Amino acid sequence: MPLTLADSSPVDSPDREYLWTLNFGPQHPATHTTLRLVLTLDGENVVSAVPHIGYLHSGFEKLGEHLDFNQYVTIVDRMNYISPLANEISWHHAVETLLGIELTPRCIYIRTICAELMRLHDHLLNVGTTALDLGAFTAFLYAFTQREKIYDIVEYASGQRFHTSYTRVGGVLFDVNNDWVNKVRSFVNAFGETHAEIHKLLTRNRIFMDRTKGIGVLTKEDAIRFSATGPLARASGVVRDLRKDEPYLAYRDFDFKVVCSQGGDCYARYLVRMQEMLESVKILQQAIENIPAGPINIALETDVVLPAKPAVYRSIEGLIQHFEVIMPNRGFPVPHDEVYAATESPNGELGYYIVGDGTPRAYRARTRPPSYIHFAMFPHMVKGHQLSDVVAILGSLNIIAAELDR
């Protein structure tokens, strides 16, 4: 179905000259990042909306052709900075698919735990900002208190709070210890309380329900047609979750459910996200008790991972191998092949299409960002709603501009 944009609607015809244009963004408190919408308004009603992109364009994809697979992880971090680790995991998932690498069980579990923590991280922010955009400030800060704890956990493992750059081709940067496991365990056990508090503040709140029910409805057909993914699609009744449908990492081992709803409106998206957080907690509880022992990186013989520091300093073989991986004119062997691999990021299907040309850098590193695809649906969803609904819908879509523009 083609999108009808304001440009093509007869706004200029004389009987509609009372319509006026409102420039919504790029600097606006409700866009959270640098989005821009040009709204055509009939009083309070939105006649049409034109989303503009490109205000945060930084050439991320082009950089992917100039940095090697390990270096580029610092860039994918910055695409969706609400859940940076999930991007890294997704990127290296694609790279490892290209190289045909099998990860060690311990690494798989660590990455799974990180991915689920990031899902909590992202959903907390989204639920919080949805409430914030409707004027409920308190739920937002409840969510942020918990996000702070996730930052601490991530910092403990990787040394960075925000842009972690934690994963590496064939493994992760540092091993985790028992303290970290205990941190995650205590966080997961305490999380339910905050979840219940947010639930109490919002879910049955009459004003919140009135503001979100029936707002920005996306039908199942439209969701499929617009290739919506993630919570957005599941809230419209599309039963698709890559964790179940194409299991990667350790998701095969865990007992969890895919949360779906039939409403397709902002309220359904909120409910799906809230429930998904509980499912993530379930996964975390299972994963944290079953982390296998063993190495975090794949075998040295693959010439992909760095040798341990003592080996580099004390043996010539270690030193040579270190340089083989690090030096810009060396690097590890990459097949002449192309691959698309995706993971279920908190926001939806986050995929990378990588073309290898034998050099340690990708010939093409294309991202499939959920935000970009979801933002395209916005004019369709907002039509006929009011100005106040614009922020509600925008909040429920969870658009991250850096990921949108790349």
Partner 1 sequence: MLDLLKSQLPTLITIAIALGAILTTCAYLIYIERKISAFMQDRVGPNRVGPLGLLQPLADGAKFLLKEDVIPGHVDKVLYLLAPCVAVFTAMLAFAVVPFGPVGDEPSWMRFIIAPDLDMGMVFIFAIGSLSVYGVVLGGWASNNKYSALGSLRASAQVVSYEIPLGMSILGVALVSGTLNLEQILAQQAKGGFLAWNVWTQPLACLIFFTASLAEANRLPFDLSECEQELVGGFHTEYSAMKFALFFLGEYTHMITIAFLMSVLFFGGWHSPLATAESAYPGAWAVKLGVLFAKVLLVILFIMVIRWTIPRFRFDQLMGLAWKVLIPLALGNVIALMVIRQFGLSLWWSTVASAVMFCIAGAISTNASRAALERARSPLATAG
Q: In angstroms, rounded to a whole number, what is the distance separating the alpha carbons of residues 19 and 283?
A: 51
Contacts of 45 by beta carbon, 8 Å cutoff, 6+ apart: 384, 385, 386, 387
Burial of 313 (0-12, 13-18, 19+ CB in 10 A): exposed
Q: In angstroms, rounded to a whole number, what is the distance separating the alpha carbons of residues 190 and 184?
A: 10
- Residue 127 in the binding site for partner 1 (CB under 8 A): no
Q: Which stretch binds partner 1 (CB under 8 A): 16-24, 285-293, 342-350, 365-373?
A: 16-24
Q: In angstroms, rounded to a whole number, what is the distance separating the alpha carbons of residues 250 and 247?
A: 8
Whichever of 260 and 402 has its CB closer to partner 1, that residue is 260
Cβ contact 88:249 at 8 Å: no
Whichever of 144 and 313 has its CB closer to partner 1, that residue is 144
- Residue 38 in the binding site for partner 1 (CB under 8 A): no
Residues 383-402, mask of contacts with partner 1 (x by CB under 8 A): ---xxxxxx-----------
- Residue 213 in the binding site for partner 1 (CB under 8 A): yes
Q: Which residues 265-304 are close enough to bind partner 1 by CB under 8 A? A: 265, 267-268, 271-272, 275
CB 185 to partner 1: min, Å: 22
CB 309 to partner 1: min, Å: 42
Q: In angstroms, rounded to a whole number, what is the distance separating the alpha carbons of residues 212 and 330?
A: 55
Query: Binding partner 1 by CB under 8 A: which of 19, 28, 339, 355?
Result: 28
Whichever of 70 and 398 has its CB closer to partner 1, that residue is 398
CB 50 to partner 1: min, Å: 16
- Residue 381 in the binding site for partner 1 (CB under 8 A): no
- Residue 251 in the binding site for partner 1 (CB under 8 A): no
Q: In angstroms, rounded to a whole number, what is the distance separating the alpha carbons of residues 269 and 273?
A: 6
CB 14 to partner 1: min, Å: 22
- Residue 126 in the binding site for partner 1 (CB under 8 A): no
CB 151 to partner 1: min, Å: 16
Cβ contact 346:118 at 8 Å: yes
Q: In angstroms, rounded to a whole number, what is the distance separating the alpha carbons of residues 217 and 266?
A: 7
Query: Binding partner 1 by CB under 8 A: which of 135, 159, 335, 384?
Result: 135
- Residue 145 in the binding site for partner 1 (CB under 8 A): yes
Q: In angstroms, rounded to a whole number, what is the distance separating the alpha carbons of residues 67 and 77?
A: 14
Whichever of 245 and 317 has its CB closer to partner 1, that residue is 245
Cβ contact 362:356 at 8 Å: yes
- Residue 138 in the binding site for partner 1 (CB under 8 A): yes
Q: In angstroms, rounded to a whole number, what is the distance separating the alpha carbons of residues 165 and 202?
A: 35
Task: Compute the radius of gyration of the chain from its Cα atoms.
Answer: 22
Whichever of 115 and 260 has its CB closer to partner 1, that residue is 260
Q: Which stretch binds partner 1 (CB under 8 A): 50-58, 160-168, 233-241, 289-297?
A: 233-241
Cβ contact 39:390 at 8 Å: yes
Residues 340-379, mask of contacts with partner 1 (x by CB under 8 A): ----------------------------------------
Supply angle C-alpha 9, 10, 13, rounded to 5: 165
Q: Is residue 40 classed as helix, strand or coil in its secondary structure?
A: strand
Query: Binding partner 1 by CB under 8 A: which of 5, 8, 42, 44?
Result: 44
Q: In angstroms, rounded to a whole number, what is the distance separating the alpha carbons of residues 4 and 48?
A: 8
In DSSP terms, which residues pair with 348 in a beta bridge? 345
CB 90 to partner 1: min, Å: 21
- Residue 161 in the binding site for partner 1 (CB under 8 A): no
Cβ contact 350:368 at 8 Å: yes
Q: Which stretch binds partner 1 (CB under 8 A): 70-78, 83-91, 167-175, 382-390?
A: 382-390
Q: In angstroms, rounded to a whole number, what is the distance separating the alpha carbons of residues 176 and 159?
A: 11
The one-letter amino acid code at 54 reads: G
Cα–Cα distances in angstroms (integers) from residue 392 to residues 68, 166, 229, 396, in the given order: 40, 34, 19, 6
Whichever of 196 and 239 has its CB closer to partner 1, that residue is 239
CB 262 to partner 1: min, Å: 6
Which residues of this protein are in contact with partner 1, per CB under 8 A?
Answer: 20, 22-23, 28-30, 44, 131-138, 141-142, 145, 201-202, 205-208, 210-211, 213-214, 217, 235, 239, 241, 244, 257-265, 267-268, 271-272, 275, 386-391
